[in-house]
Amino acid sequence: MPSYDDIAGQSVERLAALSDGVFAVAMTLLLLELHAPAREAIRTEHDLLRGMATLAPQLLVYLLSFLTLGIFWVGQQTQLNHIERSNRNFTWIHLAFLFAVTLMPFSTRLLSEFVEYRAALIAYWANILLLGVILYLSWGCATSNKLLRDDIPPDVPPAICRRILIGQALYAFGALLCFFNVYYSVAFIVLVQLFFAVGPRVRQQSS
């Protein structure tokens, strides 16, 4: 007779649906952190332009975080698309991944408010690291527990692992740049995000 642990958390479809909802909320909360210049401080067109210019760091961090969530959404959807079924352990690891997703609006606000401080950048990078580590563990759990589809090509599992490890190595290098200059660090991480979001499509179109 199967135990509760044997039958719990077996629906991949429900996990995917929950993930979509959590990512959608997290992405929306990022936008809610952007605020227009205070109305009482605007008297002329020049005041408005100057106020909009002060929003540039916040807009950059918003773009950074939106790309971050987009990249990790694609990553976890790629995993789920190659998984036949789930189990209790995989479900809880995936829930831990979604917990890291819900932290992104907070780490984004911390970085946008204190972008000149290394501690804010390190905290933001720690959020990215947590996302990557848990995503890597979830794939390891899926492969070791034989949750993958039977028709999955043999080169897919190592490609997914390699993608996560390369990404985390680049993010770590970007975080280390903050000890030289925080703005260089943020700019490098943005470039990494753009590479993962746009780079593959450019290479496919040029081949």
- pLDDT mean by block of 10 residues, the chain; 207 residues: 50 81 88 65 64 67 86 87 82 91 90 84 91 90 81 81 88 86 84 75 40
The domain total for the chain is: 1
pLDDT on residue 36? 62
Three-class SS string for the chain? CCCHHHHCCCCHHHHHHHHHHHHHHHHHHHHHCCCCCCHHHCCCHHHHHHHHHCCHHHHHHHHHHHHHHHHHHHHHHHHHHCECCCCHHHHHHHHHHHHHHHHHHHHHHHHHHCCCCHHHHHHHHHHHHHHHHHHHHHHHHHHHCCCECCCCCCCHHHHHHHHHHHHHHHHHHHHHHHHCCHHHHHHHHHHHHHHHHHHHHHHHHHC
Q: What is the domain range of residue 109?
A: 4-206
pLDDT on residue 8? 47
pTM of the model: 0.81
